[in-house]
Amino acid sequence: MLNAFRQLEERSLSSEVLLLCWSPRMDLVALANINGEVLLQRLTWQKQPVWILPAPASEAASKKVNVLSWRPDGKVLAVGYKGGHLLLCSVENADILHRVDLKSAITCIQWVDLQDKTTDSLKSQEQDMFADGSDMFLPKLPPLAKIHSAKVFSEDNVEDAKRLKGQKKLNVLVVGLDGGTLELYAYGIAAIGAIKLSGISQEKDPGKQLNCHRVIAATLSKDLRYLSVIVDQTKEDCNAIPTAYLLSLDCILISSRLEEFTRFAGQSSKVTTLLEYLSATLHSVSEAREDILMEIETKLTKYAEQKKTAGSVRDELLQLLLWGRASPELQAFLLHELTEKGMKKLGQSVENSYSNIQKLVLKHIHSVCRSLVYHLNQLKGMSLWYDKYGVIGLSPTAIQDAIGAVGSFMLKASELLQVIDTSLKNFKAFFRWLYVVMMRLSEEPVPSALNKVRQRDISFISDFLAENFSEEIGEVGETGKQSGFTLERVGQYLKRQDLQFPLVLSATVESWQACIGCSPNLKTSFLLYKHYPSKSLLQLFDEMEQAIKDALSKPAVTVGQSVSCCEIVPLFTHTALVSDDERKEHHHMVVDQHRHSEAPYIYTVLMVEEAPTEVVYLIRQPCHQDGSQDKACALCLKFASLGDGDHDGGTTSHHSHRCNQYGILDAAFFDDFTLSVLLQERWAGQESASVICQLPLAALSYQSFTQLSRHGEPLNQRSDIMVLDAGQYISHSRRLDNIKASIFAVSGSRKVSCVLFSNRRRVRLFDMDAEDDGEEDSLSESLQDASSAGLTMEGIVQEDRESNKENIQSLDNLH
């Protein structure tokens, strides 16, 4: 049926677009431009996008967006960059829900949803996956202040910051990397697979290994059993022709343990969310600690270096405390350098800063640490059931190490509270005393409430001077000057270095530590958390974060080691002179589970040359290994003519819409039944209008496919591959006038397509499930008939104006 798709919009773009990707559930399309930005547009294509995700703060080459993929429910968009950054963005406001920094460039991603055919036990688990009872036992985490690094934690529902609630089925994000590595993430967050393809060999032929240079494309079957991967061979021999191979990998551990991986992914995602929440909290603690004390330390250091009287600053202040006498130099310093107003402001700032840190530690850090211990103990209990969870890689020892690290971090947070409490008492007494001294030196009246100094306050002040106004020369600072003044002890806990002034333990604590050291049972008990007196809070956080990541990465390593290679076949050769970034290879995969429900297949459409090319290859892989001879096979498709299916009459008639040949610009699967193709007309070697077509897969006979083999020639070097003119099987098509297309994006779930112009700064949208009105159909048929006769567009317009003046406006609209 020609001209079967109704045009919706045509819009210009401010920057060149590289990628297009439709949402599977909403009328939204994501675009990645040349500046590294990702834009979200509605189907109606308003002037302003829904949101714009800016490029990451990295080098220009690393900002390029290589791939886009939507979560099956359409609520989260995955963005993969050349620099190795993987971002999961919320569809509502572009908030970054999750970030993974990988070691090499991301070359492909695909989000796969588990098929509906699941066991009853798994279905019940899916519906109650995130309701593990933690809401009844754990406190609700309070939202954080809106800082740039933790916007997702500024909302009320902090526990669902990853937007995981409401997930009915397990879904897996497949990520291919430069260097030949595949990463699998359940729900895009929990790592359940790390597969190294370098050195992989076929199970039946282990002697011949394949060294992978780059993962070109990868997809996971809907039962999560088989992986279909296209890889580039390592360029070891400069004289050898680079070859791409098709791999079929068996992931039996994942498919046979769906319930276990679902439960693990739920707990792992919660632990990851809590860990990121804790990191954002520590960032807030660092912001709450003001550096105003550094100013007074600098002034004291300068005064100590320039003063001419004998004795130290601490001696002068102690004499002032005991005898009420100050040297002329000290008086001038207090009145003109520190000033009465500055001292009052300093006291208020320090008190507010320490109070905010106390609130963050008590309300946020302690709460999130308790939640971490709860969920890690859940994972530990699962790991002790070896027959179910031990086989997938959960290690009770590694999880217990992570729990111990969380406990040590909690002890250090409690120690920080103790230091803050002590420092606040000393600071208040010291600042109040010094403020009264300044008022007396300036001969101002002192309020009666401030004039009273108790013996306890004198002890606080003397302790403060003894601890913070040291006679010893301290470390060399950033300015190169040595300082003996450390007015506060809180800042050292927020640095990634050992504590300069560890907390002095009380006699009771020391006796308890000695008791633990003397008892072998207590010393090795996992119920007692280890205390590290000389380590800072951030040092213990880094150790805790690493211990948790090590414990959660065990299943991914186990799955990677369990994957076996069922089949390796060469696909195509390509020139080594063309870089990976300049290649225009298109790979789209879909699982066909409708023809053979017992034996589904993975289909791949492959363009081995730079577009526009004359042929594309359609590859079919079985998702089963039953010992039969059913192997991967291929069919070569070209488009020499286009057919027009007459659905009203129930027959297929061949329209005269022909040209010299059609070049293939792009190809993608519209759904599990239909292949969409974007063509370019060629008239005597010159390119003309573009055509978008729909090709039903059911029209292609299985007998037309040619079987591929491990030791055979690549596709572009084989002469026995059947070349089929697929144009005669086209069910729907539309000729796109006044457009020179480059790529397109289609969506069978939303019944839409988006065609990108060759200048990559203009798009045209179509409704693939609607037809144009009758007037436009008749005009298009006349255009197509004229085109088949070899007329130019100017000739078509002139002829139609002379014959029928009523159609002038319609033809102008088509242009």
| Rounded CA separation 748/763 (Å) | 19
pLDDT of residue 238 exceeding 80, the answer is: no
pLDDT of residue 637 exceeding 60, the answer is: yes
What are the residue ranges spanned by the domains of the chain? Answer: 292-557
Q: Among candidates 678, 698, 704, 676, which has minimal Cα distance to 689?
A: 678
Average pLDDT (765-783) is: 58
Q: What is the pLDDT of residue 728?
A: 87
| Rounded CA separation 529/542 (Å) | 17
- DSSP readout, 16-54? -EEEEEE-SSSSEEEEEETTS-EEEEETT--SS-SEEEP
Backbone angles phi, psi at 386, to 5 degrees: -65, -40
Across the chain, mean pLDDT equals 80
| Rounded CA separation 174/220 (Å) | 7
Q: Where are the alpha helices (DSSP H) in 622-682?
A: none
Higher-confidence residue of 764 and 210: namely 764
Where is mean pLDDT largest: 77-91, 120-134, 238-252, 776-790?
Answer: 77-91
Q: Is 239 helix (H, G, I), strand (E, B) or coil?
A: coil
- Kindly report the length of the chain: 815
C-alpha distances in Å from residue 533, one per residue of 130, 260, 470, 523, 540 = 38, 40, 21, 16, 11
Higher-confidence residue of 472 and 744: namely 744
Higher-confidence residue of 614 and 596: namely 614
Q: Cβ contacts of residue 406 below 8 Å, gap of 6+?
A: 369, 372, 373, 376, 544, 548
Q: What is the pLDDT of residue 476?
A: 39
Q: What is the pLDDT of residue 544?
A: 96
Q: Among candidates 475, 503, 507, 510, which has minimal Cα distance to 489?
A: 503
Where is mean pLDDT largest: 463-477, 600-614, 651-665?
Answer: 600-614
- Burial (CB count <10 Å: 0-12, 13-18, 19+), residue 494: middle
Q: What percent of the chain has pLDDT over 70?
A: 80
* Strand-strand pairing, 674-683 and 661-669: antiparallel
Backbone angles phi, psi at 506, to 5 degrees: -75, 170
Q: Among candidates 613, 635, 588, 604, which has minimal Cα distance to 745?
A: 588
Higher-confidence residue of 605 and 131: namely 605
Q: What is the pLDDT of residue 585?
A: 53
Contact 664, 658 (CB under 8 A): no
Higher-confidence residue of 112 and 325: namely 112
Contact 331, 320 (CB under 8 A): no
Average pLDDT (11-15) is: 90
pLDDT of residue 578 exceeding 50, the answer is: no
Contact 737, 814 (CB under 8 A): yes
pLDDT of residue 39 exceeding 60, the answer is: yes
Q: What is the pLDDT of residue 394?
A: 94
Average pLDDT (412-422) is: 91
Could you tell me the pTM of the whole model? 0.83
pLDDT of residue 646 exceeding 90, the answer is: no
Where is mean pLDDT largest: 100-114, 191-205, 624-638, 669-683?
Answer: 100-114
Where is mean pLDDT largest: 542-546, 670-674, 732-736?
Answer: 542-546
Gyration radius from the chain CA atoms:
35
- DSSP readout, 310-375? SS-HHHHHHHHHHH----HHHHHIIIIII-HHHHHHHHHHHHHHHHHHHHIIIIIIHHHHHHHHHH
Average pLDDT (589-608) is: 66
Q: What is the pLDDT of residue 687?
A: 64
Q: Among candidates 731, 765, 760, 726, which has minimal Cα distance to 743?
A: 760
Higher-confidence residue of 580 and 175: namely 175
User: How many Cα atoms are found within 13 Å in the side-chain-facing hemisphere of 541?
Assistant: 22
Quickly count: other Cβ atoms within 10 Å of residue 669's Cβ. Answer: 20
Q: What is the pLDDT of residue 475?
A: 44
Average pLDDT (233-241) is: 63
pLDDT of residue 308 exceeding 80, the answer is: no
- DSSP readout, 169-183? S-EEEEEEEBTTEEE
Helical (H) or strand (E) element with 706 = strand 706-707
Contact 658, 644 (CB under 8 A): no
pLDDT tens digits for range 54-95: 998 877 778 899 999 999 999 999 999 999 999 999 999 888
Q: What is the pLDDT of residue 130?
A: 58
Backbone angles phi, psi at 335, to 5 degrees: -80, -30
Backbone angles phi, psi at 496, to 5 degrees: -90, 60
SS3 for 437-451 is HHHHHCCCCCCHHHH
Higher-confidence residue of 730 and 122: namely 730
Q: What is the pLDDT of residue 507?
A: 73
Q: Among candidates 279, 346, 291, 347, which has minimal Cα distance to 491?
A: 291
| Rounded CA separation 543/545 (Å) | 5
Q: Find the range with the poorest average confidence among 143-157, 303-317, 540-554.
A: 143-157
Average pLDDT (485-495) is: 80
pLDDT of residue 501 exceeding 70, the answer is: yes
The two structure tokens encoding residue 805: 């003046």
**CA 705 distance to own-chain centroid:** 38
pLDDT of residue 773 exceeding 60, the answer is: no
- Token pair 């829900």: residue: 97
pLDDT tens digits for range 666-693: 999 998 889 999 998 876 556 678 899 9
pLDDT tens digits for range 430-445: 888 888 888 888 878 8
pLDDT of residue 776 exceeding 50, the answer is: no
Q: What is the pLDDT of residue 84?
A: 92
Q: What is the pLDDT of residue 647?
A: 35
Q: What is the pLDDT of residue 203?
A: 62
| Rounded CA separation 430/460 (Å) | 8
| Beta bridge mates, 257 | none
Average pLDDT (491-497) is: 89
Angle between helices 120-127 and 258-288 (to 10 degrees): 20
- DSSP readout, 408-420? HHHHHHHHHHHHH
Q: How confident is the model at residue 118 (pLDDT cuts 50, 70, 90)?
A: very low
Q: Is 498 helix (H, G, I), strand (E, B) or coil?
A: coil
**Amino acid residing at 47:** K
Higher-confidence residue of 764 and 338: namely 764
| Rounded CA separation 217/289 (Å) | 48
Q: What is the pLDDT of residue 455?
A: 77
pLDDT tens digits for range 798-813: 443 343 344 334 334 4
Average pLDDT (403-428) is: 90
The two structure tokens encoding residue 803: 């014959």
| Rounded CA separation 175/197 (Å) | 13
Contact 250, 226 (CB under 8 A): yes
Average pLDDT (130-152) is: 73
* Strand-strand pairing, 190-196 and 243-250: unpaired
Backbone angles phi, psi at 714, to 5 degrees: -60, 165
Higher-confidence residue of 172 and 118: namely 172
Average pLDDT (17-34) is: 93
pLDDT tens digits for range 173-209: 999 998 889 999 999 999 999 999 887 777 666 656 7
Would you say the C-alpha torsion 70, 76, 81, 84 has a positive or negative sign?
negative
The torsion of the CA quartet 448, 454, 456, 462, rounded to 10 degrees, works out to 80
| Beta bridge mates, 766 | 7, 753
